[in-house]
Amino acid sequence: MATVLITGANRGIGLEFTRQYASDGWTVIACCRDLGGDGAAELRDIAAKSADRVHLETMDMLDHDSIDAVAAKYRGTPVDVLINNAGIIGPTPILEHVDKQHFGTIDYDVWDAVIRTNTFAPVKLAEAFVENVAAGTEKKIITLSSTVGSFQESLIPAFCYCTSKTAVTKAVQLLSEVLRDRSIIAVAVCPGHVKTRMGAHGGTVEIPDSVSGMRGLIAGFTMADTGTFRRYNGDTVAW
């Protein structure tokens, strides 16, 4: 049975990816930064009922040593699908803090944290696990990006979050090129505006619908899709 590694697996979209892949019989390496806390209770419950198919790992995307430590533990283990899901929008509730992302009142510490989480960490994860993915059958690296990072589809003026997603989409395109001759497929996916903690304000898409849409896409991706940016419903994001 196939193996998927998921970051930010304790809530929102990452938790639902874990739930759906586990219930389909996949082995799931479910990573989050605070495994023991209340915020991971549902994830621990899924793992406890998974007949040892869901493996829990501590990984803080801001701590590259923690990424390397998990990679060292799984050295030699094929990973069919690597899902870069963990991300932050900036301080929340977003409406109370959005001025920190707006021109004139930008908080550069916020921008730094958002870029390191949303842009650096997905590339670091790919670097750390590329041999695992190369040894897998599916050979797919999926990165959750956002339409708000698109040049063509969005002009939302939240400098920190939007640019972090623009940059990670570009990084996915570059990944697709550097990994092309190893037949590794790298795709950026927008989950839609989903009713998670991050998407709480105005989210319209139910979490299971977003995740089942993305899982269907992921299952069908071939080398013809590498380097593309897709919405959970299959559309190509113009970016």
For residues 227 and 173, the answer to whether their CB atoms sit within 8 Å is: yes
Q: Smallest gap, in angstroms, from Cβ of residue 231 to ligand NAP?
A: 10
For residues 43 and 32, the answer to whether their CB atoms sit within 8 Å is: yes
From the list 86, 110, 162, 184, which residue makes contact with ligand NAP (rule: CB under 6 A)? 86
Reference 89, options 200, 238, 230, 233; nearest CA is 200
Our finding on whether 124 is near ligand NAP (CB under 6 A) is no
Structure tokens at 227: 């380097």
52 HSE (CA, 13 A, CB side): 0
From the list 119, 146, 169, 226, which residue makes contact with ligand NAP (rule: CB under 6 A)? 146
Our finding on whether 88 is near ligand NAP (CB under 6 A) is yes
From the list 4, 5, 6, 14, which residue makes contact with ligand NAP (rule: CB under 6 A)? 14
Q: Which stretch binds ligand NAP (CB under 6 A): 55-63, 74-82, 94-102, 132-140?
A: 55-63
Q: Smallest gap, in angstroms, from Cβ of residue 104 to ligand NAP?
A: 24
Q: Smallest gap, in angstroms, from Cβ of residue 183 to ligand NAP?
A: 26
**Taking CB under 6 A as the rule, which mask of x and - marks residues 166-195 in contact with ligand NAP?**
------------------------xx-xx-
Our finding on whether 214 is near ligand NAP (CB under 6 A) is no
Our finding on whether 149 is near ligand NAP (CB under 6 A) is no
Nearer to ligand NAP, 179 or 207 (CB): 207
For residues 61 and 33, the answer to whether their CB atoms sit within 8 Å is: yes
Q: Which stretch binds ligand NAP (CB under 6 A): 12-20, 49-57, 67-75, 103-111?
A: 12-20
Our finding on whether 117 is near ligand NAP (CB under 6 A) is yes
User: Interface residues with ligand NAP (CB under 6 A)?
Assistant: 8, 10-14, 32-34, 39, 60-62, 85-88, 117, 144, 146, 190-191, 193-194, 196-199, 203
